[in-house]
Structure 1
Protein backbone atom coordinates (compact mmCIF):
# COMPACT_ATOMS: atom_id res chain seq x y z
CA UNK A 1 0.00 0.00 0.00
CA UNK A 2 3.03 2.32 -0.08
CA UNK A 3 1.94 3.03 -3.63
CA UNK A 4 -0.96 5.06 -2.21
CA UNK A 5 1.05 7.47 -0.06
CA UNK A 6 0.84 11.17 -0.89
CA UNK A 7 4.30 11.46 -2.43
CA UNK A 8 3.86 8.40 -4.64
CA UNK A 9 0.49 9.59 -5.92
CA UNK A 10 1.50 13.17 -6.69
CA UNK A 11 5.14 12.75 -7.71
CA UNK A 12 4.97 9.37 -9.47
CA UNK A 13 1.40 8.44 -10.40
CA UNK A 14 0.39 11.89 -11.68
CA UNK A 15 3.30 12.07 -14.18
CA UNK A 16 2.39 8.55 -15.31
CA UNK A 17 -1.24 9.59 -15.80
CA UNK A 18 -0.18 12.56 -17.91
CA UNK A 19 2.06 10.37 -20.08
CA UNK A 20 -0.57 7.72 -20.85
CA UNK A 21 -3.43 10.23 -21.26
CA UNK A 22 -3.44 9.96 -25.11
CA UNK A 23 -3.98 6.19 -24.82
CA UNK A 24 -6.79 6.77 -22.34
CA UNK A 25 -8.45 9.33 -24.63
CA UNK A 26 -8.22 6.86 -27.52
CA UNK A 27 -9.81 4.20 -25.32
CA UNK A 28 -12.73 6.52 -24.51
CA UNK A 29 -13.23 7.54 -28.13
CA UNK A 30 -12.97 4.07 -29.66
CA UNK A 31 -14.83 2.03 -27.05
CA UNK A 32 -18.41 0.91 -27.38
CA UNK A 33 -20.07 2.60 -24.40
CA UNK A 34 -23.68 1.94 -25.39
CA UNK A 35 -23.12 -1.77 -24.93
CA UNK A 36 -19.70 -2.29 -23.30
CA UNK A 37 -18.37 -5.80 -23.46
CA UNK A 38 -15.31 -7.86 -22.63
CA UNK A 39 -12.91 -5.83 -24.83
CA UNK A 40 -13.80 -2.59 -23.02
CA UNK A 41 -13.48 -4.22 -19.60
CA UNK A 42 -10.14 -5.83 -20.44
CA UNK A 43 -8.82 -2.61 -21.92
CA UNK A 44 -9.87 -0.66 -18.81
CA UNK A 45 -8.05 -3.19 -16.61
CA UNK A 46 -5.03 -3.02 -18.89
CA UNK A 47 -4.89 0.77 -18.60
CA UNK A 48 -5.10 0.46 -14.81
CA UNK A 49 -2.10 -1.87 -14.80
CA UNK A 50 -0.35 0.47 -17.24
CA UNK A 51 -0.81 3.36 -14.79
CA UNK A 52 0.91 1.37 -12.04
CA UNK A 53 3.71 0.25 -14.35
CA UNK A 54 4.23 3.79 -15.62
CA UNK A 55 4.39 5.18 -12.07
CA UNK A 56 7.22 2.75 -11.29
CA UNK A 57 8.86 3.68 -14.58
CA UNK A 58 8.47 7.36 -13.65
CA UNK A 59 10.42 6.78 -10.45
CA UNK A 60 13.27 5.02 -12.25
CA UNK A 61 13.31 7.46 -15.18
CA UNK A 62 13.36 10.39 -12.75
CA UNK A 63 16.34 8.97 -10.93
CA UNK A 64 18.22 8.49 -14.19
CA UNK A 65 17.53 12.10 -15.15
CA UNK A 66 18.66 13.28 -11.72
CA UNK A 67 21.92 11.31 -11.98
CA UNK A 68 22.51 12.75 -15.44
CA UNK A 69 21.89 16.34 -14.29
CA UNK A 70 24.15 15.90 -11.27
CA UNK A 71 26.89 14.36 -13.41
CA UNK A 72 26.73 17.27 -15.85
CA UNK A 73 27.06 19.76 -13.00
CA UNK A 74 29.98 17.94 -11.39
CA UNK A 75 28.18 15.91 -8.75
CA UNK A 76 25.44 16.26 -6.17
CA UNK A 77 24.51 19.98 -6.04
CA UNK A 78 25.76 21.75 -2.94
CA UNK A 79 23.41 23.97 -0.96
CA UNK A 80 24.93 27.45 -0.97
CA UNK A 81 22.06 29.50 0.48
CA UNK A 82 23.88 29.99 3.81
CA UNK A 83 27.27 30.92 2.40
CA UNK A 84 28.52 34.50 2.67
CA UNK A 85 28.67 34.90 -1.11
CA UNK A 86 25.14 33.66 -1.86
CA UNK A 87 22.71 36.61 -2.23
CA UNK A 88 19.49 34.60 -1.88
CA UNK A 89 19.00 35.54 1.81
CA UNK A 90 19.77 38.72 3.69
CA UNK A 91 22.89 38.80 5.88
CA UNK A 92 20.97 38.91 9.18
CA UNK A 93 18.91 35.83 8.39
CA UNK A 94 21.97 33.92 7.21
CA UNK A 95 23.90 34.82 10.36
CA UNK A 96 21.02 33.66 12.55
CA UNK A 97 20.69 30.37 10.69
CA UNK A 98 24.46 29.77 10.56
CA UNK A 99 24.90 30.38 14.27
CA UNK A 100 22.04 28.03 15.10
CA UNK A 101 23.37 25.26 12.87
CA UNK A 102 26.94 25.76 14.07
CA UNK A 103 25.69 25.19 17.61
CA UNK A 104 23.79 22.06 16.55
CA UNK A 105 26.75 20.40 14.80
CA UNK A 106 29.34 21.67 17.27
CA UNK A 107 31.46 23.69 14.85
CA UNK A 108 32.26 27.36 14.37
CA UNK A 109 30.51 29.09 11.49
CA UNK A 110 32.90 30.41 8.83
CA UNK A 111 33.31 34.14 8.32
CA UNK A 112 33.53 35.81 4.92
CA UNK A 113 37.32 35.91 5.24
CA UNK A 114 37.62 32.26 6.25
CA UNK A 115 35.35 31.19 3.37
CA UNK A 116 37.75 32.87 0.95
CA UNK A 117 40.88 31.60 2.69
CA UNK A 118 39.70 27.99 3.04
CA UNK A 119 36.72 27.27 0.73
CA UNK A 120 37.00 23.50 1.25
CA UNK A 121 36.52 23.81 5.00
CA UNK A 122 33.58 26.16 4.47
CA UNK A 123 32.01 23.72 2.02
CA UNK A 124 32.36 20.90 4.56
CA UNK A 125 30.70 23.05 7.23
CA UNK A 126 27.71 23.82 5.01
CA UNK A 127 27.45 20.19 3.91
CA UNK A 128 27.18 19.15 7.58
CA UNK A 129 24.60 21.87 8.19
CA UNK A 130 22.38 20.67 5.38
CA UNK A 131 22.80 17.05 6.39
CA UNK A 132 21.52 18.10 9.81
CA UNK A 133 18.57 19.90 8.22
CA UNK A 134 17.62 16.97 5.99
CA UNK A 135 17.86 14.53 8.91
CA UNK A 136 15.64 16.71 11.10
CA UNK A 137 12.90 17.69 8.66
CA UNK A 138 11.36 14.30 7.85
CA UNK A 139 8.13 15.11 9.72
CA UNK A 140 5.75 16.00 6.89
CA UNK A 141 3.26 17.67 9.24
CA UNK A 142 5.77 19.97 10.92
CA UNK A 143 7.45 20.75 7.60
CA UNK A 144 4.44 20.69 5.29
CA UNK A 145 5.75 23.40 2.93
CA UNK A 146 9.08 21.58 2.52
CA UNK A 147 7.23 18.33 1.84
CA UNK A 148 5.13 20.02 -0.84
CA UNK A 149 8.25 21.45 -2.49
CA UNK A 150 9.80 17.98 -2.43
CA UNK A 151 6.69 16.63 -4.17
CA UNK A 152 6.90 19.42 -6.75
CA UNK A 153 10.53 18.57 -7.45
CA UNK A 154 9.77 14.85 -7.68
CA UNK A 155 6.84 15.48 -10.00
CA UNK A 156 8.86 17.65 -12.40
CA UNK A 157 11.88 15.35 -12.30
CA UNK A 158 9.83 12.24 -13.00
CA UNK A 159 7.76 13.90 -15.71
CA UNK A 160 10.95 15.09 -17.39
CA UNK A 161 12.33 11.57 -17.16
CA UNK A 162 9.20 10.30 -18.92
CA UNK A 163 9.36 12.92 -21.67
CA UNK A 164 10.50 10.52 -24.44
CA UNK A 165 7.70 8.12 -23.51
CA UNK A 166 5.16 10.94 -23.53
CA UNK A 167 6.08 11.99 -27.07
CA UNK A 168 6.21 8.37 -28.28
CA UNK A 169 2.78 7.49 -26.84
CA UNK A 170 1.27 10.47 -28.63
CA UNK A 171 2.63 9.23 -31.95
CA UNK A 172 1.50 5.65 -31.27
CA UNK A 173 -1.98 6.85 -30.26
CA UNK A 174 -2.36 8.76 -33.54
CA UNK A 175 -1.20 5.74 -35.57
CA UNK A 176 -3.56 3.45 -33.63
CA UNK A 177 -6.44 5.89 -34.15
CA UNK A 178 -5.81 5.93 -37.90
CA UNK A 179 -5.68 2.13 -38.07
CA UNK A 180 -8.94 1.84 -36.12
CA UNK A 181 -10.57 4.34 -38.45
CA UNK A 182 -9.17 2.68 -41.55
CA UNK A 183 -10.01 -0.95 -40.75
CA UNK A 184 -12.93 -0.60 -38.25
CA UNK A 185 -12.26 -3.83 -36.28
CA UNK A 186 -15.22 -5.39 -34.44
CA UNK A 187 -13.87 -4.53 -30.99
CA UNK A 188 -13.51 -0.75 -31.59
CA UNK A 189 -14.40 1.97 -34.06
CA UNK A 190 -13.59 5.60 -34.77
CA UNK A 191 -15.47 8.15 -36.83
CA UNK A 192 -13.72 10.84 -38.85
CA UNK A 193 -14.70 13.44 -36.26
CA UNK A 194 -13.26 11.38 -33.41
CA UNK A 195 -9.97 10.82 -35.21
CA UNK A 196 -9.60 14.59 -35.56
CA UNK A 197 -10.27 14.94 -31.83
CA UNK A 198 -7.61 12.33 -31.07
CA UNK A 199 -5.13 13.97 -33.44
CA UNK A 200 -5.73 17.45 -32.04
CA UNK A 201 -5.38 16.25 -28.46
CA UNK A 202 -2.19 14.35 -29.28
CA UNK A 203 -0.75 17.43 -31.00
CA UNK A 204 -1.39 19.70 -28.00
CA UNK A 205 -0.20 17.03 -25.58
CA UNK A 206 3.05 16.60 -27.52
CA UNK A 207 3.58 20.38 -27.55
CA UNK A 208 3.22 20.40 -23.77
CA UNK A 209 5.94 17.77 -23.39
CA UNK A 210 8.25 19.42 -25.90
CA UNK A 211 8.04 23.00 -24.59
CA UNK A 212 6.83 22.80 -20.97
CA UNK A 213 8.58 19.69 -19.66
CA UNK A 214 12.21 20.83 -19.62
CA UNK A 215 15.43 20.54 -17.67
CA UNK A 216 14.94 24.13 -16.55
CA UNK A 217 11.70 23.33 -14.72
CA UNK A 218 13.47 20.54 -12.82
CA UNK A 219 16.37 22.80 -11.81
CA UNK A 220 13.95 25.55 -10.76
CA UNK A 221 12.06 23.13 -8.50
CA UNK A 222 15.37 21.95 -7.05
CA UNK A 223 16.36 25.51 -6.15
CA UNK A 224 12.98 26.20 -4.58
CA UNK A 225 13.27 23.05 -2.48
CA UNK A 226 16.79 24.01 -1.37
CA UNK A 227 15.63 27.47 -0.29
CA UNK A 228 12.71 26.04 1.66
CA UNK A 229 15.02 23.54 3.36
CA UNK A 230 17.11 26.48 4.52
CA UNK A 231 14.03 28.32 5.80
CA UNK A 232 13.18 25.31 7.96
CA UNK A 233 15.81 26.68 10.34
CA UNK A 234 13.12 29.08 11.56
CA UNK A 235 10.94 26.18 12.71
CA UNK A 236 13.83 24.40 14.41
CA UNK A 237 14.98 27.59 16.13
CA UNK A 238 11.47 28.24 17.48
CA UNK A 239 11.21 24.68 18.78
CA UNK A 240 14.52 24.94 20.65
CA UNK A 241 13.21 28.01 22.46
CA UNK A 242 10.02 26.35 23.69
Structure 2
Protein backbone atom coordinates (compact mmCIF):
# COMPACT_ATOMS: atom_id res chain seq x y z
CA UNK A 1 0.00 0.00 0.00
CA UNK A 2 3.03 2.32 0.17
CA UNK A 3 2.57 2.70 -3.57
CA UNK A 4 -0.68 4.57 -2.85
CA UNK A 5 0.61 7.15 -0.37
CA UNK A 6 0.22 10.84 -1.16
CA UNK A 7 3.81 11.41 -2.22
CA UNK A 8 3.89 8.35 -4.50
CA UNK A 9 0.64 9.32 -6.21
CA UNK A 10 1.50 12.97 -6.82
CA UNK A 11 5.27 12.79 -7.35
CA UNK A 12 5.56 9.44 -9.16
CA UNK A 13 2.21 8.31 -10.57
CA UNK A 14 1.24 11.71 -11.98
CA UNK A 15 4.52 12.13 -13.93
CA UNK A 16 4.10 8.57 -15.23
CA UNK A 17 0.55 9.37 -16.36
CA UNK A 18 1.72 12.47 -18.20
CA UNK A 19 4.51 10.52 -19.89
CA UNK A 20 2.22 7.78 -21.24
CA UNK A 21 -0.82 9.96 -22.05
CA UNK A 22 -0.28 9.74 -25.85
CA UNK A 23 -0.53 5.94 -25.65
CA UNK A 24 -3.68 6.20 -23.51
CA UNK A 25 -5.28 8.67 -25.92
CA UNK A 26 -4.51 6.36 -28.83
CA UNK A 27 -6.08 3.48 -26.91
CA UNK A 28 -9.28 5.48 -26.36
CA UNK A 29 -9.48 6.65 -29.98
CA UNK A 30 -8.71 3.34 -31.65
CA UNK A 31 -10.72 1.03 -29.41
CA UNK A 32 -14.16 -0.32 -30.24
CA UNK A 33 -16.21 0.93 -27.30
CA UNK A 34 -19.62 -0.06 -28.61
CA UNK A 35 -18.61 -3.74 -28.46
CA UNK A 36 -15.24 -3.94 -26.68
CA UNK A 37 -13.53 -7.28 -27.05
CA UNK A 38 -10.30 -9.06 -26.25
CA UNK A 39 -8.03 -6.52 -28.06
CA UNK A 40 -9.40 -3.65 -25.95
CA UNK A 41 -9.09 -5.66 -22.73
CA UNK A 42 -5.52 -6.76 -23.46
CA UNK A 43 -4.47 -3.28 -24.55
CA UNK A 44 -6.01 -1.77 -21.43
CA UNK A 45 -4.15 -4.24 -19.23
CA UNK A 46 -0.96 -3.50 -21.13
CA UNK A 47 -1.32 0.24 -20.53
CA UNK A 48 -2.02 -0.44 -16.85
CA UNK A 49 1.20 -2.42 -16.55
CA UNK A 50 3.06 0.29 -18.50
CA UNK A 51 1.64 2.90 -16.13
CA UNK A 52 2.93 1.02 -13.07
CA UNK A 53 6.31 0.43 -14.71
CA UNK A 54 6.63 4.09 -15.67
CA UNK A 55 5.86 5.14 -12.08
CA UNK A 56 8.74 2.97 -10.86
CA UNK A 57 10.92 4.28 -13.67
CA UNK A 58 9.99 7.86 -12.70
CA UNK A 59 11.58 7.42 -9.29
CA UNK A 60 14.81 5.93 -10.66
CA UNK A 61 15.05 8.36 -13.58
CA UNK A 62 14.39 11.27 -11.25
CA UNK A 63 17.21 10.27 -8.94
CA UNK A 64 19.62 9.89 -11.84
CA UNK A 65 18.78 13.28 -13.29
CA UNK A 66 18.98 14.85 -9.82
CA UNK A 67 22.61 13.78 -9.46
CA UNK A 68 23.47 15.22 -12.86
CA UNK A 69 21.62 18.52 -12.32
CA UNK A 70 23.15 19.18 -8.93
CA UNK A 71 26.60 18.23 -10.20
CA UNK A 72 26.24 20.72 -13.05
CA UNK A 73 24.84 23.46 -10.79
CA UNK A 74 27.41 23.12 -8.02
CA UNK A 75 25.44 20.92 -5.62
CA UNK A 76 21.93 20.92 -4.22
CA UNK A 77 20.73 24.07 -2.41
CA UNK A 78 21.77 23.67 1.24
CA UNK A 79 20.01 26.28 3.35
CA UNK A 80 21.69 29.17 1.59
CA UNK A 81 19.45 31.53 3.59
CA UNK A 82 21.56 30.78 6.69
CA UNK A 83 24.78 32.15 5.27
CA UNK A 84 25.96 35.55 6.47
CA UNK A 85 26.20 36.78 2.89
CA UNK A 86 22.56 35.93 2.10
CA UNK A 87 19.94 38.64 2.59
CA UNK A 88 16.77 36.55 2.20
CA UNK A 89 16.12 36.55 5.95
CA UNK A 90 16.58 39.41 8.35
CA UNK A 91 19.85 39.11 10.34
CA UNK A 92 18.10 38.32 13.62
CA UNK A 93 16.10 35.41 12.22
CA UNK A 94 19.11 34.14 10.27
CA UNK A 95 21.33 34.15 13.37
CA UNK A 96 18.63 32.54 15.52
CA UNK A 97 18.16 29.68 13.04
CA UNK A 98 21.91 29.19 12.53
CA UNK A 99 22.68 29.12 16.26
CA UNK A 100 19.85 26.68 16.94
CA UNK A 101 21.11 24.31 14.27
CA UNK A 102 24.68 24.63 15.50
CA UNK A 103 23.52 23.45 18.94
CA UNK A 104 21.61 20.53 17.41
CA UNK A 105 24.50 19.20 15.31
CA UNK A 106 27.15 19.98 17.92
CA UNK A 107 29.29 22.30 15.79
CA UNK A 108 30.13 25.98 16.25
CA UNK A 109 28.21 28.32 13.96
CA UNK A 110 30.49 29.84 11.31
CA UNK A 111 31.30 33.54 11.53
CA UNK A 112 31.34 35.82 8.44
CA UNK A 113 35.14 35.58 8.39
CA UNK A 114 35.09 31.79 8.72
CA UNK A 115 32.69 31.44 5.79
CA UNK A 116 35.14 33.36 3.59
CA UNK A 117 38.33 31.73 4.84
CA UNK A 118 37.05 28.13 5.15
CA UNK A 119 34.51 27.52 2.35
CA UNK A 120 34.83 23.71 2.51
CA UNK A 121 34.28 23.51 6.27
CA UNK A 122 31.42 26.00 5.93
CA UNK A 123 29.74 23.86 3.29
CA UNK A 124 30.06 20.82 5.54
CA UNK A 125 28.41 22.71 8.38
CA UNK A 126 25.42 23.65 6.22
CA UNK A 127 25.24 20.12 4.81
CA UNK A 128 24.93 18.83 8.37
CA UNK A 129 22.23 21.42 9.04
CA UNK A 130 20.38 20.30 5.92
CA UNK A 131 20.58 16.64 6.99
CA UNK A 132 19.35 17.47 10.50
CA UNK A 133 16.38 19.38 9.13
CA UNK A 134 15.50 16.62 6.66
CA UNK A 135 15.57 14.01 9.41
CA UNK A 136 13.50 16.05 11.86
CA UNK A 137 10.74 17.39 9.62
CA UNK A 138 9.12 14.13 8.51
CA UNK A 139 5.84 14.81 10.32
CA UNK A 140 3.67 15.69 7.32
CA UNK A 141 0.90 17.15 9.48
CA UNK A 142 3.19 19.48 11.40
CA UNK A 143 5.22 20.44 8.32
CA UNK A 144 2.42 20.43 5.73
CA UNK A 145 3.79 23.29 3.61
CA UNK A 146 7.24 21.67 3.52
CA UNK A 147 5.68 18.35 2.53
CA UNK A 148 3.81 20.00 -0.34
CA UNK A 149 7.01 21.66 -1.56
CA UNK A 150 8.74 18.28 -1.43
CA UNK A 151 5.94 16.80 -3.56
CA UNK A 152 6.26 19.67 -6.03
CA UNK A 153 9.99 19.11 -6.31
CA UNK A 154 9.56 15.34 -6.65
CA UNK A 155 6.95 15.79 -9.37
CA UNK A 156 9.14 18.13 -11.43
CA UNK A 157 12.28 16.06 -10.93
CA UNK A 158 10.63 12.77 -11.87
CA UNK A 159 8.81 14.24 -14.86
CA UNK A 160 12.07 15.75 -16.07
CA UNK A 161 13.67 12.32 -15.70
CA UNK A 162 10.85 10.82 -17.80
CA UNK A 163 11.03 13.54 -20.44
CA UNK A 164 12.94 11.51 -23.07
CA UNK A 165 10.66 8.52 -22.46
CA UNK A 166 7.57 10.70 -22.81
CA UNK A 167 8.79 12.15 -26.10
CA UNK A 168 9.60 8.64 -27.38
CA UNK A 169 6.14 7.33 -26.39
CA UNK A 170 4.61 10.35 -28.12
CA UNK A 171 6.46 9.57 -31.35
CA UNK A 172 5.57 5.87 -31.19
CA UNK A 173 1.89 6.70 -30.58
CA UNK A 174 1.80 9.00 -33.62
CA UNK A 175 3.48 6.33 -35.76
CA UNK A 176 1.06 3.69 -34.50
CA UNK A 177 -1.88 6.00 -35.23
CA UNK A 178 -0.69 6.44 -38.82
CA UNK A 179 -0.37 2.66 -39.23
CA UNK A 180 -3.89 2.12 -37.87
CA UNK A 181 -5.29 4.79 -40.17
CA UNK A 182 -3.59 3.41 -43.28
CA UNK A 183 -4.17 -0.32 -42.75
CA UNK A 184 -7.38 -0.25 -40.63
CA UNK A 185 -6.66 -3.59 -38.85
CA UNK A 186 -9.37 -5.42 -36.96
CA UNK A 187 -7.72 -4.81 -33.59
CA UNK A 188 -8.26 -1.04 -33.89
CA UNK A 189 -8.81 1.65 -36.48
CA UNK A 190 -8.77 5.42 -36.74
CA UNK A 191 -10.87 7.75 -38.87
CA UNK A 192 -9.45 10.88 -40.44
CA UNK A 193 -10.99 12.97 -37.67
CA UNK A 194 -9.46 10.82 -34.95
CA UNK A 195 -6.03 10.91 -36.57
CA UNK A 196 -6.17 14.70 -36.38
CA UNK A 197 -7.18 14.51 -32.71
CA UNK A 198 -4.24 12.21 -31.99
CA UNK A 199 -1.87 14.48 -33.92
CA UNK A 200 -3.12 17.61 -32.18
CA UNK A 201 -2.79 16.04 -28.75
CA UNK A 202 0.68 14.75 -29.61
CA UNK A 203 1.75 18.25 -30.61
CA UNK A 204 0.47 19.79 -27.36
CA UNK A 205 2.04 16.99 -25.33
CA UNK A 206 5.41 17.43 -27.02
CA UNK A 207 5.33 21.22 -26.58
CA UNK A 208 4.57 20.81 -22.88
CA UNK A 209 7.45 18.40 -22.35
CA UNK A 210 9.88 20.54 -24.35
CA UNK A 211 8.93 23.99 -23.02
CA UNK A 212 7.65 23.39 -19.48
CA UNK A 213 9.59 20.35 -18.27
CA UNK A 214 13.03 21.91 -17.95
CA UNK A 215 16.18 21.86 -15.88
CA UNK A 216 15.33 25.35 -14.60
CA UNK A 217 11.92 24.23 -13.29
CA UNK A 218 13.55 21.42 -11.30
CA UNK A 219 16.25 23.64 -9.81
CA UNK A 220 13.68 26.31 -8.95
CA UNK A 221 11.58 23.75 -7.09
CA UNK A 222 14.65 22.49 -5.23
CA UNK A 223 15.48 26.02 -4.08
CA UNK A 224 11.91 26.60 -2.92
CA UNK A 225 11.99 23.34 -0.96
CA UNK A 226 15.36 24.20 0.63
CA UNK A 227 14.05 27.64 1.63
CA UNK A 228 10.94 26.14 3.23
CA UNK A 229 13.15 23.61 5.00
CA UNK A 230 15.09 26.51 6.53
CA UNK A 231 11.85 28.13 7.68
CA UNK A 232 10.89 24.92 9.49
CA UNK A 233 13.45 25.97 12.13
CA UNK A 234 10.70 28.12 13.64
CA UNK A 235 8.59 25.06 14.46
CA UNK A 236 11.58 23.06 15.69
CA UNK A 237 12.67 25.87 17.99
CA UNK A 238 9.16 26.12 19.47
CA UNK A 239 9.03 22.37 19.96
CA UNK A 240 12.41 22.39 21.72
CA UNK A 241 11.07 24.86 24.30
CA UNK A 242 8.07 22.76 25.26
If the length of structure 2 is used for normalisation, what is the TM-score? 0.95
The equivalent of 2:46 in structure 1 is 46
Q: CA deviation at 1:119?
A: 2.9
The equivalent of 2:205 in structure 1 is 205
Counterpart-to-counterpart distance in 1, 2:197 and 2:5: 35
Equivalent residue pairs, number: 242
**SS state of the match for residue 232, structure 2?**
helix
CA RMSD of aligned residues (A): 1.4
Q: CA deviation at 1:223?
A: 0.2
Q: Which runs of 5+ in 2 are unaligned?
A: none
The equivalent of 1:180 in structure 2 is 180
Does residue 24 of structure 1 match 2:24?
yes
Counterpart-to-counterpart distance in 2, 1:158 and 1:39: 31
The equivalent of 1:6 in structure 2 is 6
The equivalent of 2:124 in structure 1 is 124
Counterpart-to-counterpart distance in 1, 2:108 and 2:149: 30
The equivalent of 2:112 in structure 1 is 112
**SS state of the match for residue 162, structure 1?**
helix
Counterpart-to-counterpart distance in 2, 1:71 and 1:113: 27
**1:42-121, aligned counterparts within 5 Å?**
42-121=42-121
The equivalent of 1:155 in structure 2 is 155
**SS state of the match for residue 33, structure 1?**
coil
Counterpart-to-counterpart distance in 2, 1:73 and 1:189: 48
Q: CA deviation at 1:30?
A: 0.7
Q: CA deviation at 1:77?
A: 4.6
Q: CA deviation at 1:75?
A: 4.4
Q: CA deviation at 1:118?
A: 2.9
Q: Which runs of 5+ in 1 are unaligned?
A: none
What's the CA shift string for 1:195-231, capped at 9, x where partnerless? 0000001011100001110000000000000001000
**SS state of the match for residue 213, structure 2?**
coil
The equivalent of 2:145 in structure 1 is 145
If the length of structure 1 is used for normalisation, what is the TM-score? 0.95
What's the CA shift string for 1:51-76, capped at 9, x where partnerless? 00000111111111111112223445
Counterpart-to-counterpart distance in 2, 1:185 and 1:223: 51
What's the CA shift string for 1:156-187, capped at 9, x where partnerless? 01100111111111111111111111111112
Counterpart-to-counterpart distance in 1, 2:38 and 2:158: 34
